[in-house]
Structure 1
Amino acid sequence: MFGYFATGNYNENVPQTVWRINLDTPEEANQNLSFGGADRWWEQTDLTKLILSNNKLQTLSDDIRLLPALTVLDVHDNELASLPCAVGELENLQRLNISHNKLKILPEEIKNLRNLKSLFLQNNELTSIPEGFGQLLNLEELDISNNHLSSVPASFSSLTSLVRLNLARNQLKSLPTEISRMKRLKQLDCTSNLLETVPSELASMESLELLYLRRNKLRSLPEFPSCRLLKELHVGENQIEVIGAEHLKHLSSINVLDLRDNKLKSIPDEITLLQALERLDLTNNDISSLPYALGNLPHLKFLALEGNPMRTIRRDLLTKGTQELLKYLRSKIKDDAAHQNETTTTGTAMTLPSESRVNVHAIVTLKILEYSEKQATAIPDEVFDAVGRNVITSINFSKNQLNGIPKRVVELKETVTDVNLSFNKLSLISLEICVLQKLTHLDIRNNLLTALPEEMSALMRLQTINLSFNRFKTFPDVLYCIPTLETVLFSNNQVGSVDALRLKKMEKLATLDLQNNDLLQVPLELGNCVSLRTLLLEGNPFRIPRAAILAKGTAAVLEYLRDRIPP
């Protein structure tokens, strides 16, 4: 015998013979007396691995104590509301998987599992962790993600063997400073919590390599003077407004820096200190320009800028990919000083009777009609009057208090390709947008939208639309009818489903962001959307595919879905 027993047939109860497998002589032994010594498996070893996953178990018997040799117990994906106290008697247990059940509490006796190395508790209903938890001194891997924890006990600091800790998708408002005592910790995941700050002591975790702080309420980052091994820092979807030199100067080993969906207005020149940087995600911030020296980072392979009001880089360059963009930045390094001089010495604003300030230089030179961050409830006529006979390709009216689209945008319908109306109070899209038939990029994130007009199907050149942080409860039908769409950003809404068959017909769709919605399931047919290069689904309440599959990237997710489509 190999000390292994597995079942996955949707049983509601564990047969008593399983618990007594080490004690009772099997029936076949009584029927056949010719077994040789090598064949008498029941006399050779006790059961060491018990797999009861994917059943409908509601309870486990205290008789589990009859299997003291167990090193692996796997009961994931059942309906367990509790664990028997007897589980604490399994002194040899090294791996315990109780994920995807209905546990609300853990027995205090779990602290007796001194040889435990891996403990998986994700996707339960836990609201607290026993104080004695810190006695699991050999624990190397702990996953408590997708529970209801509001705090982490300070006793966690005793888990000094821990290498991977997953606290994602809970309700944590803070982390204990004692967490810094986990000197062997390499991976810490605190995604989707309520953290407003992280303890400065976190910076002293010298073994830390991967740190996930996405989808929290962070306004700033700590410095990382001792985290010399830090390879990935994920702080997307927070409220960070400033990244300074002090945040970057110690990140010499960083390969991946995720800053997407924050409130950054600029990137410091010190970004060039990150000589090992390979991926930089600045999607959906308020960045209008980049330091040209960014082009000299030797290992940078991926630079995401979608959803920023870039004024110094042409839109067509942004769509050509990272290498073309870096090449452009390198070409501008020598002109940087001259560019700055021109900006400061040329009259760039005209004061109008209404005291509005219109950036005439942007109109004439950059072809941008810019009136953002004014908190205006309407765009003054003087702004449109200043256009004159100049050609306008971009409109930026973001960060105002607009509750309607300015009617005079129709005057620019012959030339406008890019419109930014983000961070306003739009509750509907009027038909003025629908006549901009050369429109390729539309940014209307952070508004109050619940629907889109059918007339938007006339936008037959639209490539990118950003509808994140609105109030949609259904995926707009009109989007399925725009065949030119390449990027649809739809995170942080309340959408419960998408039509995978209609998405498949959008043959140019390469990026679909559905993070933080209310998807209860992912349609398997989505796997047939072969044009997708980026599919983001994190932060939804569905159970399948699981986080481990999502973490492998879009190709793995699509393959997973495709393989499960019934013939």
Structure 2
Amino acid sequence: MSRSRGAQQVDSLRGFRTPESEPSVPSGLLKAARQSGTLNLTNRNLSEVPTSVYRLNVDTPEEAHRNVSFGASDRWWEQTDLTKLLLASNRLTRLSDDIRLLPALTTLDLHDNQLETLPGALGDLQELQQLRVGHNRLTCLPPEVYSLRNLRSLTLQQNLLDSLPEDLGRLEALTELDVSDNQLTELPSGLGRLSGLQKLHLCRNKLTCLPDSLRKLTNVKLLDCSNNLLSDVPAGVSQMAALEQLYLRHNKLRHLPPLRAPALKELYLGNNQIADVSGERMSGLGALAVLELRDNKIATLPDEVTALGALARLDLTNNDIGVLPAALGLLPELKILLLEGNPLRGIRRDLLTKGTNELLKYLRGRIKEEPDSAGGDVPTAMTLPSQAAVNLHSIKTLKSLVYSDKKAELIPDELFQAAAEHAVTSADLSKNLLSDVPPRLAETRASLMDLNMAFNKLSCCSLVCSLTNLRHLDLRNNQLGDLPSDLNNLSKLHSLVLNCNKFKSFPEVLYDMPSLESVLLGNNQVGDVDPARLLRLVRLSTLDLSNNDLLNVPPQLGLCTTLRCLSLEGNPFRSPRAAIVAKGTDAILEYLRSRIPT
């Protein structure tokens, strides 16, 4: 009996059947890809790409043989050609020539794998616009890649490239090229043929010089040459008319480069050997907003520093500066001046700890006021008691209304009267007990560009909405929980500081203020932010959301590629992990983009 039952269980055709194996890509995912045109196989531990992926648009899908109803959602013959194939963060060691069976691909993401070579069949993907092969083991690219006439973005960071061919210049549609973290010792002159290039990343290589053909890259906005072996910068860089951001950190530069790039806004020269900062070279940097010269050997700054009229941030940390030129105090836009690690003489240590505003005020005080050419009533050293509240020197000469740290609940009327007469451009009313913005501040609306109302007791700030020329607004350490909807009248506002208030969400009105470049919301109670609406802020480069109540960080925030500084520390979210947050903005954004569902 036992033998009889065993015989009944034997499959007599077992030897003729093909063993069934669990597919490495679920059929449901392939089905969805035929409808959407996108297949995301990121982080699936793949050691090779399944044949079913290559033949996605070639073979008749299996469900077509089983399903005879063919409802509207199952019409396999109406499938969409695959345009995006994402294979990042797997264990791929090779890519088959069958990739040519997907000729409609516009995006191919292979970064973070173990690829040592790429197939020449990539040349058949003539619709390809983005090719991402960073974080692999490539020593070169197949020649066929340089025939991709529609390729716009080529990212090759963190490979083993020691050279680039002249054929690179054939990729004339490129707008972004990233070859950072390789072993390049020189660049081909053909690089200059990439006339549409906007972003060029060359950092962390072994470059000793840059080709003069860079001057032809007149559309490049960002050039990163950090962590190389450069001892000089070719004069041709000055002809890069669109250049806005130039990174030259960690090189061997001894002099301030001769730059006259008219659009240059940010110049990073930290960790070099610069000792000479000549005034002549300063004069060509009139549009500069950020200048980083930290960790160099600078002993003196020239008085021509006043030519940097747009400068907002100057980092001189860890140099050999003994004396600061008083002319620094005349820079109208300077908000951050970093001087730690310098052997400064003649400036009290406690003054340095009080921050940039106090230091600049001290420097301005060292500038002798010239006598009034009209010969009329000249202010004397003897001031009447009734005039004590009015700093005429500050208002008349520096166009600055200053009434700070007075613990006052009201601002004297004579202060506003003098400010209106002399068209002040900045007002500092911080560290008082103000519960509202003074109404008479509206009298300065035609000229006022910088307003500091920090460290007061403001619960409402509606009156600032009439100050339509404001560029910088500091409202930190108040009692604000919301912002007025009319704040979007401030169409020129670049910088907004809201740290240490009572905001529970990202203020709605800020989503409608595309002029914003910097928003600081640290130390509030913000619980959410809408990344889709944040994308409207096309100039936003700094966003501080540290020490808030964010329980999760939306992956779509990674699409805000204009961000150069994103602060998320001190929030209760679990993802991204603290280790990723500690790596900085670029690592955070890259991680978030990898988590975007398709």
TM-score range, shorter chain: 0.5 to 0.7
Structure 1 residue 112 and structure 2 residue 147: aligned? yes
Task: Indicate the residue corresponding to 1:15 in structure 2.
Answer: 50
Q: 2:39: which partner in 1? A: 5
- The 3-state SS of whatever aligns with 2:58 is coil
- Alignment-derived partner of residue 242 in structure 1: 276
* Within-5 A mapping of 1:50-129: 50-129=85-164
The residue identity in structure 2 corresponding to 1:276 is A
Q: Contact 1:228–1:253 (CA<8 Å) still a contact in 2?
A: yes
The SS at the match of 1:323 is helix
Q: Considering only CA atoms, is the larger Rg found in Structure 1 or Structure 2?
A: 2
* Equivalent position of 1:185 in the other structure: 220
- Tell me if the contact between 2:191 and 2:213 (Cα under 8 Å) persists in the aligned partners: yes
Is 147-156 or 30-39 further displaced after alignment?
Answer: 30-39
Aligned equivalents of 1:167 and 1:92: distance in 2?
26
CA 1:127/1:11 → structure 2, altered by over 3 Å: closer, same or farther?
Answer: same
- From 553, 558, 564, give the equivalent of 2:577: 564
Structure 2 residue 357 is matched with structure 1 residue 296: no
- Asked if 2 retains the 8 angstrom alpha-carbon contact of 1:549 and 1:556, the reply is no
Residue type at the aligned position of 2:293: L
Q: What aligned pairs does 1:218-237 form with structure 2 within 5 A after superposition?
A: 218-225=253-260, 227-237=261-271
1:201 is paired with a residue of what secondary structure?
Answer: helix
Q: Distance in 1 between matches of 2:569 and 2:231?
A: 31
- Structure 1 residues 214-242: Cα deviation after superposition (integer angstroms, max 9, x where no partner): 100011133223x1111011111111111
Counterpart for residue 265 of structure 1: 299
* 1:287 equivalent in structure 2: 321
Following superposition, the deviation at residue 554 of structure 1 comes to: 6.8
The residue identity in structure 1 corresponding to 2:124 is: E
Which of 41, 45, 66 aligns to 1:31? It is: 66
Aligned ranges for residues 186-225 of structure 1 at < 5 Å?
186-225=221-260
State the one-letter code of the partner of 2:183: H
Correspondence 1:168 to 2:203:
yes
3-state SS of the aligned residue for 1:142?
A: strand
1:86–1:556: structure 2 CA closer, same or farther, 3 Å change rule?
farther
Whole-angstrom CA distance in 1 between matches of 2:565 and 2:187: 30
Instruction: State whether structure 2 residue 351 is matched by structure 1 residue 317.
Output: yes
| Residues 303-357 of structure 1: per-residue CA shift (max 9 Å, x gap) | 1101111112111111221111111111222299xxxxxxxxxxxxxxxxxxxxx
CA 1:36–1:259: 2 relative to 1, 3 Å? same
Q: Deviations over 1:244-279 (max 9, x none)?
A: 111111111100001111110011111111111010
Match of 2:309 among 254, 272, 275: 275
Q: Where does 1:451-466 land on structure 2 (aligned, <5 Å)? A: none
C-alpha distance in 2, partners of 1:269/1:565? 44
After TM superposition, give the deviation of residue 125 of structure 1 in Å: 1.2
Q: 1:121 to 1:565 in 2, by over 3 A?
A: same
User: Equivalents in 2 of 1:242, 1:104: separation in Å?
Assistant: 39
CA contact (8 A) 1:200 1:223 kept: yes
Aligned position for 1:479: none
What is the CA–CA distance in structure 1 between the aligned matches of 2:232 and 2:251, rounded to whole Å? 9
The answer for the alignment partner of 1:253 in structure 2 is: 287
Query: How many Å separate the matches in 1 of 2:77 and 2:118?
Result: 28
Aligned length: 357
Relative distance call for 1:84 and 1:558 in structure 2 (3 A) is farther
1:42 deviation in Å? 5.1
Check conservation: 1:97, 1:121, Cα contact below 8 A: yes
Give, in angstroms, the shift of residue 43 of structure 1.
Answer: 2.9
- Find the aligned partners of 1:89 and 1:557 in 2 and give their Cα distance: 45
TM-score by length of 1: 0.60
Counterpart contact for 1:26–1:42, Cα < 8 Å: no
Question: Is 1:306 aligned to residue 340 of structure 2?
Answer: yes
Pairing of 1:344-355 with structure 2 (within 5 A): none
Q: Gapped runs of 5+ residues in structure 1? A: 337-529, 532-545
CA distance in 2, matches of 1:82, 1:144: 16
* Change in CA separation of 1:108 and 1:550 when aligned onto 2, cut-off 3 Å: same
Q: How does 1:152-163 map to 2 (within 5 A)?
A: 152-163=187-198
**Residues of 2 paired with 1:116 and 1:125: CA distance?**
22
8 A contact 2:86–2:108 mirrored in 1: yes
Partner secondary structure for residue 232 of structure 2? coil
Supply the distance in 2 between the matched residues of 1:561 and 1:128 (Cα, whole angstroms): 41
Cα distance change of structure 1 residues 79 and 557 upon mapping to structure 2, 3 Å threshold: farther
Q: Does 1:140 align with 2:175?
A: yes
Q: TM-score, normalised by structure 2?
A: 0.57
Asked whether the 8 Å contact 1:145–1:166 carries over to 2, the reply is yes
**Structure 2: distance between partners of 1:561 and 1:212:** 33
- C-alpha separation in 1, matches of 2:245 and 2:329: 25
* Structure 1 SS opposite 2:36: coil
In 2, distance between residues paired with 1:331 and 1:231?
29
Kept in 1, the 8 Å contact 2:256–2:278? The answer is no
For 1:240, give the aligned amino acid. I
| Contact 1:22-1:42 within 8 A present in 2 as well | no
Describe the superposition over 1:114-158 as per-residue Cα deviations: whole angstroms up to 9, x where unpaired. Answer: 100011111111111122110000000111111110110011010
